[in-house]
Structure 1
Amino acid sequence: MLNAYVYPLRLTADASRVVVRPFNLAWQASGTEPGRAQRLVQAVLDMDMAETRSQLASVLADFEARHWQTRRVFMSRYEEIVGLLGLDLPDIGDEKRQLIGAYFCHEYSYAAAALMNPSVVPHPDQSGLDGSALRILMSVRAVGEGHISSVVFREGLITDRNELLLAAEPPFATAAYLPDSNGLKAQSGPVTIYRHTDSTISGTVIFPITEAQHNGLEDVRLTLFTHDDGTKEYLGTYTAYSGREIQSELLRTQDFRKMDLVPMRGAAARNKGMALFPRKIGGKYMMIGRQDGQNLFLLTSDEIDHWEDGELLLEPVYPWEFVQIGNCGPPIELDEGWLLLTHGVGAMRKYAIGAVLLDKDDPSKVLARAKHPILSARDEDREGYVPNVVYTCGALRHGDSLFLPYGVADSSVAFAFVKIGEMLAQME
């Protein structure tokens, strides 16, 4: 096995990372009786001001120090509620507005269960750096209450000395928002969401926005895509899970301030684990996918959001991948060709990460393949929610090394650096 340098840092579940989320009750009245939401609003309206101030003070004492602009969040939620209920209320004062808003919010610990399956791209801001360091942006799958998956981000630096310096997380996290949603999920996409003006990328959480995403946004595979005219755009494929069905979708953004979430069309989009090449090849968009649950396929398209079944590219060959293979993120362009990281599943459902080199002009040609994994579950990587799993959704080249963040046992995130030359030398 290749001698990867595993960095002495790990990201783990953190129940203290919380955001304020809409708390939705039954909105409509039943027959002639008011619904629960209407009754709750009326209960606050009926309070005298002394009780209102006392209750609001208690809520703020519990939660104001834990969240960003808590009073403003409550006020915004109040406006959503009166709009949903069609209420035309007189001037009831800010204290009653805030208290009503608070009753329709709840605190959600978005990473209480797990952090896993990261991908990484160059950060939009590379100012003030020399060539020895690269500012990075990682997407990470966070799992919270109800096993709901959301997308979080971490910013940091890597150096040519195989160092990783992660920026500290901001004290408050905020959810990216869909304007005019009234706190309810959209029925379908595409949708455009926004990072709050005062929030950093590392402080932003993308929660399920549409009904197709109801039970989670899973395993973003980010790449910095270069269009034919030379413009660049961050693109990330991910799996939307409704609780019954899956579909592949595409995150599109220039700066992670405004982000489009676009459902993809076509037969291939009904599967998960799609990884986009970072530029067109031969005038075509290209993707690596797994259409049959076992093998890897090369997909081509004239439209970035429409993907039909492709041609067989790779089948399991070695014992550590006999059960199945899949991609581990977007292909990485080298002078020698396209470096494609793969995952293999072997006996006892043990996962390992492998590598393949594809022809730069014709990625359907496999030039070389790692006979042995470049990384597999070590003793300290075995235990967790799903034992014996190592998995990444994307690595990044910096100098002569590959920076490889990876998920461990579907529970935490670890980091490795791999010498590219040594990896290629061990391929056959």
Structure 2
Amino acid sequence: MSRVKVRAHDITLVPQSARVIIRPFIPSNVNRVLAILGRALALREEEVGRDLEAVLKEFESRHFDMEAALLANFRRVAPHLFTDQPLSRDRKLLIGSLFSGEYALESAALFNPSIVAHPDQFGVPEGGLRFIMSLRATGEGHISSIEFRTGGIAPGGGIALDPVSRMVTEPDIDPDPSYRKGPFLIKLHEMGFDNEHAHAVMEVLPEGLTRGLLATSLQRVRRETRPHGKDLDATLRCIQWLADSNYEMNFSGRHTLGERVIFPVSANESNGIEDARFVRFTDDDGTVTYYATYTAYNGHAILPQLIETQDFLHFRVLTLNGSAVQNKGMALFPRRIDGNYAMLSRQDDENLLLMFSDNPHYWSDPRVIMRPAEMWEGVKVGNCGSPIETEAGWIVLTHGVGPMRKYCIGAILLDLQDPSKVIGRLREPLLAPEGSGREGYVPNVVYSCGSLRHGRDLILPYAMSDRASTIVTVNLDELLGALGD
């Protein structure tokens, strides 16, 4: 282990199975759907009222707005109804409950945290800091979502998390989000769909298009193109898939950050939103935007995505573009360097790479800046979140994978003006799995998705063996001293 001492805090975030949301539970077999609907439609109205009352009595106290979720799931199966007879609200709710189920967001794991300064520092004492921590929550089927916690750092360095209730809420998805036409065209080109069908859809659309305008253009091209061929169908499916992968969502301010969850929305993230690396980005004009890179996983392939927010109420999710948008572990620098955005990545699944861009949504031309050197990182290296700026250079916490797939956290120092230069490197891990922290969903792993500088300290939340998370403080001067040796 490194000679740099870490201060452990009496904080452990463990998975809580009681935190649940309502998700659709709809059989894939249409005949089964019809059979369930038939049983619900055969009930007398008094039976409907009795059965619905029992459902609400058992489950309503576990959710903020259970009836809204049940009605949403009723609407999902309503096209299968074989009657035009108006249905009572109670019958719709009961039908919705038959096609619903609770999902325990973090029943398996609560891990891979990142941490940023809270946008609201009102009332914080001098020398203190309010923060937001994101966490990857994983439940049944290994489906991952993003949860949040808030807390504060006291002037003396103590850390406390705010209490969190068992209640959870999902955002409202904007039904007609806006898109930027340029990045849309670039992504279609990268995916091999820069053809006459794509041009026919896109050329009539304005630079600032909406989902509704895009849908109208898709329908027009499908209607006007004869004959229908595989190329047309594939192109239109790809455009629709791309639109579904870029969306906007809004949370109600009535709920605390700890009660908000970002659950997979699009098909490309149907099996999980993995390892969000949040960073507080300050642009040259002083504008602050919180970005997070994450990995969308559909059960077969991964796709790096980007989240943007300024208030943690409104979120915009975008597909990243460019030849360098591959693999996991992309981490954005917290400011521009010589007018350009900068990003760490691990395209080759082995080395740490750096790239620059004039657009945070487009990345290409990466270059290797660090390769595995020590045995504890002999399999591969990557980052543990966005770089931390200091007067001596950019501190990058790294993860190294060594024998027996053991993950350790290390650190390197990059030149402040030219971050392609590695000017310092720990030869021993800063943190390694030990004791009970070795046991978990994936044993022998310590991992973080982002740390935070506070004065002369580095606040480092990290996960233990893909199950639970904790926080340590690292003295910045000690770490810089070790990196300078």
Which aligned pairs between 1:58-77 and structure 2 lie closer than 5 A?
Answer: 58-77=54-73
Secondary structure, in 3 states, of the residue corresponding to 1:267? coil
Deviations 1:273-313 (A, max 9, x none): 00000111111111001121111011111221111241110
* Structure 2 partner of 1:6: 8
Extract unaligned runs of 5+ from structure 1: 30-34
Distance (Å, rounded) in 2 between the aligned partners of 1:324 and 1:176: 37
Deviation (angstroms), 1:43: 3.0
Q: Would the aligned equivalents of 1:285 and 1:300 in 2 still touch at CA under 8 Å?
A: yes
1:223 is aligned, of 270, 279, 283, to: 279
2:264 is aligned, of 177, 192, 208, to: 208
**1:25 aligned to 2:21?**
no
Which is richer in strand? 1
* Structure 2 partner of 1:138: 133
Deviations 1:10-51 (A, max 9, x none): 111211111111223348x6xxxxx44344334323211221
Secondary structure, in 3 states, of the residue corresponding to 1:425? helix
* Structure 2 partner of 1:282: 338
Distance (Å, rounded) in 2 between the aligned partners of 1:126 and 1:423: 27
Extract unaligned runs of 5+ from structure 2: 177-239
Secondary structure, in 3 states, of the residue corresponding to 2:107? coil
Secondary structure, in 3 states, of the residue corresponding to 1:376? coil
**1:78 aligned to 2:74?**
yes
Which is richer in helix? 2
**1:424 aligned to 2:480?**
yes
Distance (Å, rounded) in 2 between the aligned partners of 1:72 and 1:312: 50
Distance (Å, rounded) in 2 between the aligned partners of 1:197 and 1:106: 26
Secondary structure, in 3 states, of the residue corresponding to 1:240? strand
1:97 is aligned, of 75, 92, 100, to: 92
Distance (Å, rounded) in 1 between the aligned partners of 2:466 and 2:108: 10
**1:366 aligned to 2:427?**
no
Single out whichever of 217-226 and 303-312 deviates more from structure 2: 303-312
Distance (Å, rounded) in 2 between the aligned partners of 1:62 and 1:85: 28
Deviation (angstroms), 1:225: 0.8
Instruction: Extract structure 1 runs of 4+ deviating beyond 4 A.
Output: 84-91
Distance (Å, rounded) in 2 between the aligned partners of 1:174 and 1:350: 35
Distance (Å, rounded) in 1 between the aligned partners of 2:54 and 2:446: 45
Q: Would the aligned equivalents of 1:238 and 1:249 in 2 still touch at CA under 8 Å?
A: yes
Deviations 1:162-188 (A, max 9, x none): 32211111231012332449xxxx843
Aligned length: 417
Deviations 1:141-177 (A, max 9, x none): 1110001111111111122323221111123101233
* Structure 1 partner of 2:18: 16
Code of the residue aligned with 2:60 in structure 1: it is: E
Deviation (angstroms), 1:358: 1.0
Deviation (angstroms), 1:261: 1.2
1:395 is aligned, of 430, 451, 455, to: 451
Code of the residue aligned with 1:399 in structure 2: it is: G
Code of the residue aligned with 1:212 in structure 2: it is: N
Distance (Å, rounded) in 2 between the aligned partners of 1:62 and 1:164: 37
2:110 is aligned, of 93, 112, 115, to: 115
Code of the residue aligned with 2:279 in structure 1: it is: T
Alignment root-mean-square deviation, CA? 2.0
Code of the residue aligned with 1:137 in structure 2: it is: I
Cα pair distance change 1:206/1:88, threshold 3 Å: farther
Q: Would the aligned equivalents of 2:343 and 2:355 in 1 still touch at CA under 8 Å?
A: yes
Which aligned pairs between 1:100-179 and structure 2 lie closer than 5 A?
Answer: 100-179=95-174
Distance (Å, rounded) in 2 between the aligned partners of 1:343 and 1:87: 56
Q: Would the aligned equivalents of 1:20 and 1:174 in 2 still touch at CA under 8 Å?
A: no
Deviation (angstroms), 1:350: 2.1
* Structure 2 partner of 1:321: 377
Secondary structure, in 3 states, of the residue corresponding to 1:118? strand
Code of the residue aligned with 2:452 in structure 1: it is: L
Code of the residue aligned with 2:129 in structure 1: it is: L
* Structure 1 partner of 2:305: 249
Q: Would the aligned equivalents of 2:341 and 2:358 in 1 still touch at CA under 8 Å?
A: yes
Code of the residue aligned with 2:116 in structure 1: it is: V
Q: So what's the TM-score if we normalise by structure 1?
A: 0.92
Distance (Å, rounded) in 2 between the aligned partners of 1:289 and 1:424: 23
Which aligned pairs between 1:291-370 and structure 2 lie closer than 5 A?
Answer: 291-370=347-426
Q: Would the aligned equivalents of 1:392 and 1:407 in 2 still touch at CA under 8 Å?
A: yes
* Structure 1 partner of 2:42: 46
